[in-house]
């Protein structure tokens, strides 16, 4: 018999809210989460949970000593957004805000840590708690943690994570098997020409016309060169060039993003974009360079851990509280854990049930309901415990 996680979590609601508000008031940008890390570590010290530091501002805590082992991951960084919630505990850091709910994620993982620690003597294995820095900024904290083999010596046999979800009400979880978030690549084009008098275009080559044709041509990549059953999007999001009516500029800069659910198509599409860039530049007598900054891979939920989360959420919150999650073209660096380990990532409802809608993630007025805090903490603890039991029974411990 497992403890009554939800009841226990509700008893510590006050400390969950206190964690969350303190973190919310002092948000820090990716890889600069020094104060946040210090707070996390002070709570862990108080709970007498051993931990180690990773990537300076990351923290990996361990509860238990014996296999099997599972990991729970949260992200701790905030975004460069000026908060407009008007909350009494709004950000005191100018232009920085926890607008993606990572303050909630961190508070809930601290809550789960307290729950699991209180029952450590019965814990059927070991739980790693990953307080990960830098989710919002490439290359992201996850890939670096894995590259450094920072989870060793006891590697998790399953990894779980959750994200607040403003589209679902408090008390629900949205979940799906398979690919749920997209891969991302940032694209930067630099077009160069001699530049010159607008009355003599034949002398200079024209990067504006080349850019215009490139943008239009790129619209055919997703519409004409991709299997219609395969989701993908290519958006050109910035064009900068030129100043005056009588000058052909010497340079035009473009930016954009490519997102897809399939790694192979992603590689192929990047080559196509490269080729189109070269060909169109050549046609117009300009020079073009395409710089690709590779982002996160698609996030894939694995069948077994996803089924486990589903059944835990149903028994904790009720049969009808688990909603289907429709995949979106967001990106999340939890994807790297799911490339390496069996993993599942679920969306936790944070919309106040009395509201039909609320401002979404990355919005300056994003204000998730704190009633979700004990639910998320209980879910994390219950999922970890159930996964350890499952691993023991399946003999993979
Ligand atoms: Ni996020």
34 and 103 part of one domain: yes
CA of 171 to the centre of ligand 1 (A): 19
For the entire predicted model, the pTM comes to 0.89
Both 128 and 9 in one domain: the answer is: yes
Between the CA of 107 and the centroid of ligand 1 the distance, in Å, is: 14
pLDDT, tens digit (0-9, with 9 covering 90-100), for 7-33: 999 999 999 999 999 999 999 999 999
Is the predicted pLDDT of residue 1 greater than 90, yes or no? no
**Dist CA 362 CA 382 (whole Å):** 29
What is the number of structural domains in the chain?
Answer: 2
Q: Give 34 Cα–ligand 1 centroid separation in angstroms.
A: 19
- Report the C-alpha gap between 226 and 222 in whole angstroms: 5
pLDDT in tens, 167-221: 999 999 999 999 999 999 999 999 999 999 999 988 888 999 999 999 999 999 9
pLDDT exceeds 90 at position 74: yes
Residues 317 and 342 in one domain: yes
Q: How far, in Å, from the CA of 287 to the mean position of ligand 1?
A: 38
| One domain for residues 45 and 178 | yes
Residue 316 and residue 222 share a domain: no
Would residue 349 be called left, alpha or beta, if left means φ above 0 and alpha means ψ between -120 and 50 degrees? beta
Residues with CB under 5 A from ligand 1 (ion): 100
Q: What percent of the chain has pLDDT over 70?
A: 99
Quote the CA–CA distance of 246 and 204 in Å, as a whole number: 13
327 three-class SS: coil
Sort 58 into a burial class: Cβ within 10 Å, 0-12 / 13-18 / 19+. buried
Q: In the prediction, which pLDDT does 117 show?
A: 98
Give the residue among 297, 312, 278 at the shortest CA–CA distance from 390: 312
Q: Which letter does DSSP use for residue 79 in this model?
A: B
Residue 397 in this model has a pLDDT that exceeds 70: no
Domain enclosing residue 327, as ranges: 5-182+298-394
Q: Give the count of beta carbons closer than 10 Å to the beta carbon of residue 163.
A: 24
Identify whether residues 353 and 268 lie together within a single domain.
Answer: no
Measure the CA–CA gap between 151 and 379, rounded to whole angstroms: 22
CA–CA distance, 358 with 127 (Å, rounded to integer): 34
| Ligand 1 centroid from CA 259, angstroms | 17
Q: Given 294, 322, 348, which residue is the final one in a domain?
A: 294
Rg (CA), the chain: 24
Residue 262 parent element (H or E)? none
**Whether pLDDT at 396 is above 60:** no
Among the three residues 246, 278, 294, which one is the final residue of a domain in this structure?
A: 294
Cα 66 to ligand 1 centre (Å): 31
- pLDDT value at position 223? 94
Mean pLDDT, residues 356-363 taken together: 94
Q: What is the DSSP letter of 21?
A: H
Mean pLDDT computed over 90-115: 97
CATH number at residue 238: 3.30.70.360
pLDDT single digits (tens) 331-341: 999 999 999 99
- CA of 358 relative to ligand 1 center, distance in Å: 16
| 159 CA → ligand 1 middle, Å | 17
The SS3 assignment for 230 reads: coil
Q: What is the pLDDT of residues 126-176, one digit of tens each?
A: 999 999 999 999 899 999 999 999 999 999 999 999 999 999 999 999 999
Same domain membership, residue 309 and residue 263: no
Q: Does one domain contain both 138 and 231?
A: no
Average pLDDT over all residues of the chain: 96
CATH for 39? 3.40.630.10
pLDDT over threshold 90, residue 379? yes
Same domain, 233 and 158: no
One domain for residues 23 and 49: yes
Q: How far is the CA of 102 from the centre of ligand 1 (A)?
A: 6
219 alpha carbon – ligand 1 mean position (Å): 29
Q: Alpha-carbon distance 378 to 4, whole Å?
A: 9
Neighbouring residues of 290: CB distance < 8 A, sequence distance ≥ 6: 187, 188, 189, 273, 274, 277
- Give the residue from 249, 267, 294 where a domain finishes: 294
Proportion of the chain above pLDDT 90, given as a percent: 95
* Residue 221 and residue 119 share a domain: no
**Contact predicate 196/295, CB 8 Å:** no
Question: Quick one: average pLDDT of 218-242?
Answer: 94
Quote the ligand 1 centre to 101 CA distance (angstroms). 6
Dihedral of CA 28/32/38/43: which sign? Answer: positive
Structural tokens at position 233: 């999007």
Instruction: Compute, in angstroms, the gap from residue 57 CA to the centroid of ligand 1.
Output: 17
Do 172 and 25 share a domain, yes or no? Answer: yes
Ligand 1 center to 361 CA (angstroms):
8
Residue 347's pLDDT is 98
Sheet (strand 173-175) strand order:
51-54, 58-63, 126-132, 69-75, 158-169, 343-351, 173-175, 322-324
Distance (Å) from CA 227 to ligand 1 centroid:
29
């Amino acid at each position: 018999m497992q403890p009554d996680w939800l009841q226990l979590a509700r008893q510590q609601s006050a400390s969950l809210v206190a964690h969350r508000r303190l973190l919310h008031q002092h948000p820090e940008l990716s890889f600069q989460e020094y104060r946040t890390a210090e707070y996390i570590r002070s709570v862990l010290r108080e709970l007498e949970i051993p931990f180690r530091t990773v990537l300076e501002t990351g923290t990996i805590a361990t509860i238990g000593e014996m296999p099997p082992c599972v990991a729970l991951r949260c992200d701790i960084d905030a975004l460069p957004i000026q908060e407009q919630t008007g909350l009494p505990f709004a950000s005191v850091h100018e232009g920085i805000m926890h607008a993606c709910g990572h303050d909630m994620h961190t508070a809930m993982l601290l809550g789960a840590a307290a729950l699991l620690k209180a029952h450590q003597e019965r814990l059927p294995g070991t739980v790693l708690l990953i307080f990960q820095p830098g989710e919002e900024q490439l290359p992201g904290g996850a890939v670096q943690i894995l590259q450094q083999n920072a989870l060793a010596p006891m590697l998790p046999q399953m990894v779980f994570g959750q994200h607040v979800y403003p589209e679902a009400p408090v008390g629900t979880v949205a979940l799906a098997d398979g690919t749920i978030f997209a891969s991302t690549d940032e694209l930067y084009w630099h077009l160069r020409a001699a530049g010159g008098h607008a009355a003599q275009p034949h002398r200079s080559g024209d990067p504006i016309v080349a850019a215009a044709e490139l943008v239009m041509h790129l619209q055919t990549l997703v519409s004409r060169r991709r299997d219609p059953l395969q989701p993908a999007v290519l958006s050109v999001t910035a064009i900068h060039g030129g100043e005056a009516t009588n000058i052909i500029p010497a340079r035009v800069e473009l930016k954009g993003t490519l997102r897809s659910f399939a790694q192979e198509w992603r590689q192929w599409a990047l080559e196509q974009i490269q080729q189109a860039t070269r060909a169109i530049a050549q046609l117009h007598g300009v020079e073009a360079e395409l710089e690709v900054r590779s982002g996160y891979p698609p996030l894939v939920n694995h069948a077994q851990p996803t089924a486990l989360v589903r059944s835990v959420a149903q028994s904790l919150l009720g049969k009808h509280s688990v909603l289907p999650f429709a995949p979106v073209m967001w990106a999340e660096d939890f994807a790297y854990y799911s490339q390496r380990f069996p993993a599942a990532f679920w969306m936790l409802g944070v919309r106040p049930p009395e509201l039909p809608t609320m401002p979404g993630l990355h919005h300056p007025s994003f204000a998730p309901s704190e009633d979700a805090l004990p639910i998320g903490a209980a879910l994390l603890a219950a999922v970890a415990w159930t996964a350890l039991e499952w691993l023991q029974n399946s003999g993979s411990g």
